Amino acid sequence: MHTYSKTDSLLWTGRKSGQQFYLHEKVVFVDLNTDKFPSINTPAWAVLGYACDEGVKRNEGRIGAVLGPDAIRKQLAKLPNHLLESTLLMDVGTIDCKDGDLKKTQTVLARTVTQLLMQNTFPILIGGGHDIAFGHYNGVKKYLAAEGGKKTIGIINFDAHFDLRQNETNNNSGTPFYQIAQECKLDKSEFKYMCLGIREDANSKILFETAKELGVSFIEKKHFNLLHFNKIKKEIEDFIADVDHIYTTIDMDGFSSAYAPGVSAASPMGFSPEMVLECLKIIIDSNKMISLDIAEMNPTYDIDQQTAKLAASLIHFVIYNSH
């Protein structure tokens, strides 16, 4: 696995308490190449980096998301530890794409996600471009297939973009959910995809048509706010009720640049953190969420680590509200 590297423990630093008051004091580092995986019979979280912006480059976005995983780690490390003493928090390294072979990188990512799920952990992936979604989804799919039975995976994507561009030229950060839809057609499985925060000024007419043809559930940004929360809550709950597992993906460029300037495609017209947190709580409370990723965090354009801090706080919210 030459596209994989163990995490440098120096990324996880912060105020010292000596009593695990902070996550950098709680985290355990695992080298998936050489270390024996801990025996897990308690809740366990596995942070995996995806240091790749090859898909963003191909999609003509602002490159720099390759640096996203370590920027998020640095901010996550400083946050307070509210986990139970028995809960395991692991950093299991990073998958990179130094040779530009996106397909290979996504294949390695899928295999690693499957491995993490088989070890009874909850994968938290940090990227990296939104092409993370294709590898991540396939890792979940392979795990469920190995477990036996036919399980339906619902994708909930917090994003300004559908990411349903056709991949006839190449795979990129704008094609992952179209690729997943095509795979679902081939194996005659259901393509269950909900996108929250879609903007008219961020998607072409053909993308809206593609979404409708593929039966995608979506809520536009103009309605994705607390004024419409009761209706949104019901739509999310109805979507969740129709699937066995939820894979949640958060594209940081869906947030307004007032909150998240450090992304591949920034806009002031995005949604708010409060709205995402309220929706995340619905997903968590369903007990169906199987994995999570954060995409498109780009430190090159961040201001005072604001976007990295937001990404870290989203992860903190999920792990704190799930145990």
- Where is the binding site, in residues? 130, 159, 161, 163, 251, 253
Task: Give the annotated binding-site residues for Mn(2+).
Answer: 130, 159, 161, 163, 251, 253
Pairing of strands 153-158, 217-220: unpaired
Q: What angle in degrees, to the nearest 10, is found between the helix axes of 229-241 and 273-285?
A: 40
Contact 245, 153 (CB under 8 A): yes
Whole-angstrom Cα distance, residue 36 to residue 29? Answer: 11
The β-bridge partners of 158 are: 196, 250
Q: How many CB atoms lie within 10 A of CB 258?
A: 12
Which pairs with CB-CB distance under 8 Å and at least 24 residues apart come from 11-14?
11/70, 11/73, 11/74, 11/77, 12/73, 12/74, 12/76, 12/77, 12/91, 13/74, 13/77, 13/78, 14/77, 14/78
DSSP class per residue in 73-89: HHHHHTSB--S-TT-EE
